């Protein structure tokens, strides 16, 4: 029995990056031997075990063969005869197909170390094209390592393009797709993930609503970058630069989908794109079964982001409606995430990345004013039920009018 550290742990150590998760491969062992040593089996698909003390995953060396569509369409074969090289060749990228023994001696049959040094994301073997999930994984690695200068090898991008055209991407489950998408959006350069998907034709399969934004112009006065797709990438980039949570990044990606529906004869204006985009945002949310908080914020940002930009011009009554829509009294965090998504939208424009956004503090102040209206005096006046709600609304409107006047003076 020989045990090797494999995959990301080896890759990140060689890159000088922190190693978080460690995966191990066991060569020359049987399931019975692993159980005898106290390892606990997990999963039904292939023999993976948890170490009795560390809890880390140890997998028996295995080969795999395509047997159906999608990520799960494989049969696995694990036996003591399977070699380390046979196990490594089934992996996605050369930089993930290296192994180390306990003396840090490197086994690198597919030249992963060379590709690390040359900053190339390259597939290990033609079997790469058998697993559609690898399209998303490679795009995610491109986003993760973009700051180090990594690029996808042209021949790998070509395989990704073939996979995108094969219909295999449609066989991915919503859960597997969302796991990769959500992880990619939380990388330092998530816009690279979207760009790589577009470069290989996967974006128009997975998110045609986002892909449709590229080539659609906007008014140059507000959008010096002009192209709606490039603007979306820039907004996503800003959300990462400002360390925003997944909810905000997802909303930034989807906020302008309605612009993809504007007839060409109306370009570069996009009248009512906020309302038109809601059905598209809803479709993308449902396609990937995004978490509820991501779904809700994306829809609200899509509908109201131009309200955010025009906050200083809004009538007090419109401002109150906006606050009510977000339920700022019980869910203040959601409104805060809306504000920062609007700010990312304002900054995601060529040459305007450092612009100030006074609307943010103005909206925060308005929310505080509305929340500050006391209920007790109205109860003491005898208001209750629907009448109490209306009275509370009137008092909040009064307070917002005063706030708006003081902010203008």
The whole-number pLDDT of residue 21 equals: 84
Task: Please tell me the distance from the alpha carbon of residue 187 to that of residue 13, in angstroms, as a whole number.
Answer: 19
The whole-number pLDDT of residue 79 equals: 86
The whole-number pLDDT of residue 20 equals: 85
Pairing verdict, β 23-27 and 57-60: parallel
Six token digits for residue 100: 């180390």
Q: Is 70 exposed, middle or buried (0-12, 13-18, 19+ CB in 10 A)?
A: middle
The whole-number pLDDT of residue 74 equals: 53
Pairing verdict, β 120-121 and 62-66: unpaired
Neighbours of 317 (CB within 10 A): 12
Task: Quick: pLDDT tens for 293-345.
Answer: 999 999 999 999 999 999 999 999 999 999 999 999 999 999 999 999 999 99
CATH code that applies to domain 119-185: 1.10.110.30
Percentage of residues in the chain having pLDDT higher than 90:
90
Q: Give 340's contacts (C-beta < 8 A, 6+ positions apart).
A: 242, 244, 248, 360
Would you identify the CATH topology of the domain 1-117? Beta Polymerase; domain 2 (3.30.460)
Lookup result for tokens 């396609």: 287
In degrees and rounded to multiples of 5, residue 344 shows phi and psi of: -65, -40
Q: Do domains 119-185 and 207-371 have the same CATH topology?
A: no
Domain boundaries, the chain: 1-117, 119-185, 207-371, 376-408
For the full predicted model, state whether its pTM sits above 0.85.
yes
Per the CB < 8 A criterion, the answer to whether 194 and 202 are in contact is no
* pLDDT in 10s for each residue of the chain, 409 residues: 899 999 999 999 999 999 988 999 999 999 999 999 999 998 766 689 999 999 999 999 988 775 555 455 556 788 899 999 999 999 999 999 999 999 999 999 999 999 999 999 999 999 899 899 999 999 999 999 999 999 999 999 999 999 999 999 999 999 999 999 999 999 999 999 999 999 999 999 999 999 999 999 999 999 999 999 999 999 999 999 999 999 999 999 999 999 999 999 999 999 999 999 999 999 999 999 999 999 999 999 999 999 999 999 999 999 999 999 999 999 999 999 999 999 999 999 999 999 999 999 999 999 999 999 999 999 999 999 999 999 999 999 999 999 999 998 7
Partner residues linked to 106 by β-bridges = 100
Q: Give 167's contacts (C-beta < 8 A, 6+ positions apart).
A: none
In CATH, which of 1.10.10, 3.10.28, 1.10.3210, 3.30.420 is domain 207-371?
1.10.3210
The whole-number pLDDT of residue 77 equals: 81
Residues found in the chain: 409
Neighbours of 173 (CB within 10 A): 14
CA torsion 77-78-82-86 (nearest 10°) is 60
Q: Where do the H-state alpha helices sit in 46-107?
A: 84-89
Q: Give 183's contacts (C-beta < 8 A, 6+ positions apart).
A: 140
The whole-number pLDDT of residue 44 equals: 65
Q: Give 6's contacts (C-beta < 8 A, 6+ positions apart).
A: 23, 24, 25, 87, 88, 98, 99, 100
Task: Quick: pLDDT tens for 194-231.
Answer: 999 999 999 999 999 999 999 999 999 999 999 999 99
For the residues of 346-407, what is the DSSP string, one character each?
HHSSTT-TT---HHHHHHHHHHHHHHTS-SHHHHHTT--HHHHHHHHHHHHHHHHHHHHHHH
What distance lies between CA 144 and its chain's CA centroid?
12
């Amino acid at each position: 029995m020989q045990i090797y550290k494999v995959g990301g742990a080896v890759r990140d150590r060689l890159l000088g990056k922190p190693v978080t998760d460690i995966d191990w491969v066991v060569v020359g062992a049987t399931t019975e031997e692993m159980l005898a040593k106290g390892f606990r089996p997990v999963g039904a698909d292939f023999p993976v075990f948890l170490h009795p003390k560390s809890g880390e995953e140890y997998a028996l060396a295995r080969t795999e063969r395509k047997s159906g569509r999608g990520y799960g369409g494989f049969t696995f074969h694990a036996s003591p005869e399977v070699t380390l090289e046979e196990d490594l060749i089934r992996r996605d990228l050369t930089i993930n197909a290296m192994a180390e023994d306990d003396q840090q001696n490197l086994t690198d049959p597919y030249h992963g170390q060379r590709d690390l040094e040359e900053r190339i994301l390259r597939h290990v073997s033609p079997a790469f094209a058998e697993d559609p999930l690898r399209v998303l994984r490679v795009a995610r690695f491109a986003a993760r390592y973009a700051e180090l200068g990594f690029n996808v090898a042209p021949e790998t991008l070509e395989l990704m393009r073939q996979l995108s055209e094969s219909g295999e991407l449609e066989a991915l489950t919503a859960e597997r797709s969302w796991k990769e998408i959500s992880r990619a959006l939380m990388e330092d350069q998530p816009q690279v993930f979207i760009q790589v998907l577009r470069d290989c034709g996967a974006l128009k399969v997975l998110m045609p609503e986002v892909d449709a934004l590229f080539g659609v112009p906007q008014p140059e006065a507000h959008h010096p970058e002009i192209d709606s797709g490039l603007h979306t990438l820039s907004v996503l980039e800003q959300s990462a630069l400002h360390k925003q949570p997944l909810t905000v990044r997802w909303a930034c990606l989807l906020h302008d989908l309605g612009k993809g529906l504007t007839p060409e004869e109306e370009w570069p204006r996009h009248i009512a794109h906020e309302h038109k985009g809601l059905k598209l945002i809803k479709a993308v949310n449902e396609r990937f079964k995004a978490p509820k908080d991501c779904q809700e914020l994306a829809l609200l940002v899509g509908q109201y982001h131009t309200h955010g930009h025009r906050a200083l011009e809004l009538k007090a009554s419109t401002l109150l409606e906006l606050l009510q829509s977000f339920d700022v009294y019980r869910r203040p965090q959601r409104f805060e995430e809306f504000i920062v998504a609007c700010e990312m939208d304002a900054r995601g424009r060529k040459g305007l990345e450092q612009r100030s956004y006074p609307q943010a503090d103005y909206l925060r102040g308005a929310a505080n004013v509305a929340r500050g209206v006391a209920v007790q005096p109205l109860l003491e006046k005898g208001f209750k039920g629907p009448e109490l709600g209306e009275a509370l609304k009137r008092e909040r409107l009064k307070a917002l009018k005063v706030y708006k006047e003081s902010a203008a003076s």
